[in-house]
Chain A
Amino acid sequence: MAVAKTKLEKFLEDTVVFLGPDREILKDHGLAPRDDREERVMRDHKDPHEIGLVRSKLDVIAEEAFDQLEQTGAAPGAKWGDLVAGVFTASGDLAAASTGGVLLFSVVCQPMLRYILKYWKDEPTVGIRPGDIFTSTDPRYGNIHTPDQNTILPVFDDEGRLALWVIVIVHEGENGSVEPGGMPSAAESPYMEGIRMPPVKIGENYQHKRDIVTWLQNSVRDPMLQIQDMKIRLSACLKMKERIEQVAQEYGWDAIVSTLRWTLEDTEAEVRRRLRAWPEGTVRSIAWTDSTLRENALIKIALEARKKDDELILDFRGTSPQFINRSINTQLHALKGMLAQVFLTFVWPDLPRNQAVFAPMRLMSDWGSALDSTPEAPNAQSMMTFFPGFTALQMCVAKFLYPTPKRYTKLLAPWYNMITTFIYGGLNQYGEIVGNLCADLNGMSGGAREDEDGEHSIAPIFAAMTDLGENEIIEEETPIVKIVPHRLMQDNQGFGKFRGGSGYQVIGTVRRSDMFGFMTTCTGSKFPTVYGLFGGYGAPSYPLCKVKGVNAFEKLKDLPESKWTIPGIMNEQPFADARYSTHHMGMQFEIVKQGELYMICQGAGGGYGDPLERDPDAVMSDLRDQLISHLTAKEVYLVAYDERTLSVDVEATERRREAERQARKRRGRPFDEFVKQWVTEEPPAGLPYYGPWGDRETIYLGGPANKMARGTCPGIMMTDPREVRIAELEQKLRELGVELAR
């Protein structure tokens, strides 16, 4: 009987007709157990000086690969630092990564490598051999989203044993998705998001297979970009391999394998030591995202962080369900990568950059929620949900850190968290088809710190060091003209004792092409996505503004440059006969006529502390720099001053502020009394609310009239906004007595 069972098992094993995503791999972000070789070499090579030297060399190797890619990459993402290079153990754990770039990328490679090791290593038609080149772009196997492409190279030692992996990843952009540029908010299923490659071998003997390269080139709008960056990524991997072999000549392969493992284990031990210093307890936060990028909808990202001894449990149960035909859903490992970024970049940047930093964290989530989506939910714009997840953790971490005696960075209010940029596509001025994005997404503003203001448009939450891009290069390669590329906007600020950084406005258009367009992808046009800390305020909300029916190249010469601002153009409407409009920031791809204006604004970082404690001189400094208006100086910061000289009346200011403190005491109501009056059983009718309200057991699907029990909602299916609009208009016609023919 036992023999028969074995035969049956073997038969079933040999006749698997479909290998899909492996949830067990995706759920486990812990370090792999030591293998036999690691056990042995870690006994022989444990001199901290040797480990320190070898680790430094591996770090430099990753750094060199980053620089090489940034200097030679063709994708805009490569040029402005939207990439990373890393070294992984033979078991697939990230052990060293470049300082610059998007560390998030490398943290999400572990599942791809584990998949290759589990399914392809012993598969006779695939295997893992020296010279093999792999890639994987499908987010259901360990990527963030399909525009990110990687090159994965196994590296073998002198005895032919798999010693480690090197990987480089670049946000390449164009990938043949339903909209140009690779991040389609119009995607209603994963199969509209461009090429999706589960882990696949694309080359042997250190060469790409020409047939596969040709297939990929034929699948995208920009075939030259596809081949150029495949070669450049391979070149960077080969350089890393060559350098690692040089280190092996000097120290031996065993020392390298030992160093990778010691680095991971030491890092995890240090993180656990630091967590033990945090107070025990529970901290909660909620972040909100107000759009699916197709329509406004209020979506809840709820976090309960529980710290016990040397473990941190991040419980995201109570988050809204997935949207089955919208692209904003997150695969759980992508959320983990983003949460790891909180610690690697903002809390413990002194630690080695590897994924052991996140090993002591445990995640809890609802399968089928917006942060833990099933394979059939699209992910191209997952940032719309997992970036707010980052913000929720930032708020929780600050509350654990304040009472912790030793901190490694300053306390920080939430960073701006949306990708405010133009994604573009079409025919460029040379007649070539292109599709990609501008680097303005890297211009997120910093949150205020515990003792100083936040930085203006400094860096994205997903990378410590990136660039905004050179306008001259953008104009050389595309028809995009940013008439106003970077101009800070007044009152775009998270107010507080220390204010968040301000974001810049961009006024863009198109020239020298009639077949070129934009899309934009942010949430937060109705409900801010960034909040304040300890009494500070969050960011405002951000619309997309358009001026259509005008050729600004002909008209702007008559408008003083001081008016070339979003409020200047939108409020004064200087172009006769033009159409001025505002929208939420989820604009699907549309053709832009030459000279029409599209205007967006980078978001602000959150403020820290009570605005009434802000130094009046700092308020005057912001006025001088035109960061705030007189109204804000007087009504939010309550400073008394001479408008002409900006000299502060200290005593009058203190009187005004004290009067406001007394006014607060009069208008504020005791918490219990307030809650009794304020809290409602269900979300308000008329608010398109999707998710749990008071407790997490009832899920509301658009309002109080439609609800389901937690765990029974397979996902929300939204109606096409154009269908909604048509129905509204038909209803209006009916009210006017007009019946349409059927």
Chain B
Amino acid sequence: MQVAITEYLEIDLDRERWRCRRCRRDLGSARDNYKRGLLVHDRDPREIHRPILDAERYRYTFAPDSKWCRILEYYCPGCGTQVETEYLPPGHPPTHDIELDVDDLKKRFAGSGQEPKP
């Protein structure tokens, strides 16, 4: 029995494990932070939000200031899907964003017949 938690994550309730919904890769205990099962890359935001104005001439260019803001990209180690992004100042601890009550999920979905979304 698995329940979809986000676009790319599900919890296998029988085994209490996080899994990738694209490749079914095991991502760790469902009672732990799912991010611990993922790969992380510190992305310079200017590579995604490129300067629209000439960065040689102007202080503000539509691109975020890379000394203020970084993008943490979280990838599935099995298939490389980008599961989550997080905009943080450099060095700021990542957020433990999802901490659901696994026992409640089991009670809630046991026998509900819910199938994982494709």
A residues near B (Cβ < 8 Å) are 279-286, 288, 290, 298, 395, 399, 402-403, 405, 450, 489-492, 495, 497, 525-528, 531-545, 566-567, 570-571, 580-584, 601, 608-613, 631-632, 636, 660-665, 667-672, 674-675, 678-680, 683-684, 686-687, 689, 693-694
Contacts and interface: CB of A to CB of B under 8 A. Distances in A.
B91 interface: yes
Contact of A537 (B35, B48, B57, B95): B48
Contacts of B69: 288, 526-528, 541
Given A526-B60, A684-B90, 20 more contacts: A279-B101, A283-B97, A399-B6, A399-B98, A403-B5, A490-B52, A534-B7, A534-B84, A535-B8, A538-B85, A540-B64, A543-B62, A571-B53, A581-B58, A582-B61, A610-B8, A668-B74, A671-B35, A680-B91, A684-B67
A285 B52 CA distance: 29
Interface string B64-105: 110111010111010111111111111111111111110011
Given A665-B75, A689-B89, A571 B54 contact: yes
Nearest to A663: B80
Contact of A541 (B35, B49, B75, B88): B49
A610 B48 CA distance: 13
A675 B62 CA distance: 29
Contacts of A686: 67
Nearest to A288: B87
Nearest to B86: A531
A670 B82 contact: no
A593 B81 CA distance: 52
Nearest to B64: A541
Contacts of A399: 5-6, 97-98
Contact of A279 (B53, B59, B105): B105
B37 A540 contact: no
A702 B48 CA distance: 28
B68 A636 contact: no
28 contacts: A279-B108, A283-B97, A283-B99, A284-B97, A286-B88, A399-B98, A402-B4, A403-B3, A405-B114, A497-B7, A527-B65, A531-B86, A534-B7, A535-B83, A541-B60, A543-B61, A580-B57, A582-B53, A660-B80, A668-B75, A668-B77, A669-B41, A671-B33, A671-B36, A674-B42, A680-B91, A683-B92, A684-B67
B93 A535 contact: no
A295 B58 CA distance: 17
A612 B74 CA distance: 14
A664 B49 contact: no
Given A491-B52, A534-B84, A668-B77, A679 B91 contact: yes
A669 B112 contact: no
Contacts of A541: 49, 60, 62-65, 69
B8 A534 contact: yes
A534 B39 contact: no
A459 to B, nearest CB: 23
Contacts of B100: 279-282, 403
B40 interface: yes
A600 B59 CA distance: 15
Given A290-B68, A668-B41, A684 B80 contact: no
Interface in B16-45: 33, 35-42, 45
Contacts, number: 228
Contacts of B79: 661
Contacts of B82: 535, 610-612, 664
A290 B50 CA distance: 19
A683 B89 contact: yes
B50 A668 contact: no
Contacts of B77: 665, 668, 670
Contacts of A542: 62
Interface size class of B (residues with CB under 8 A): 35 or more
Interface of B: 3-8, 33, 35-42, 45, 48-50, 52-54, 57-65, 67-69, 71, 73-75, 77, 79-101, 104-105, 108, 112, 114
Given A279-B100, A405-B112, A531 B87 contact: yes
Contacts of A534: 6-8, 83-84
B53 A298 contact: no
A708 B45 CA distance: 31
A280 B88 CA distance: 27
Contact of B92 (A532, A669, A671, A693): A693
Given A527-B68, A535-B85, A684 B53 contact: no
Contact of B87 (A538, A601, A611, A665): A538
A684 B70 CA distance: 13
Contacts of B93: 675, 679, 693-694
Contacts of A298: 68, 89
A418 to B, nearest CB: 14
B105 to A, nearest CB: 6
Given A279-B104, A281-B101, A281-B104, A664 B39 contact: yes
Given A402-B7, A540-B49, A583-B60, A526 B68 contact: yes
A679 B92 contact: yes
A671 B80 contact: no
Nearest to A281: B100
Given A281-B100, A450-B7, A403 B60 contact: no
A527 B68 CA distance: 7
B91 A545 contact: no
A661 B81 contact: yes
Contacts of B92: 679-680, 683, 693-694
B7 A284 contact: no
A684 B67 CA distance: 9
A631 B7 CA distance: 27
Most buried by B among A540, A567, A611, A672: A540
B99 A282 contact: yes
Given A402-B4, A531-B85, A665 B42 contact: no
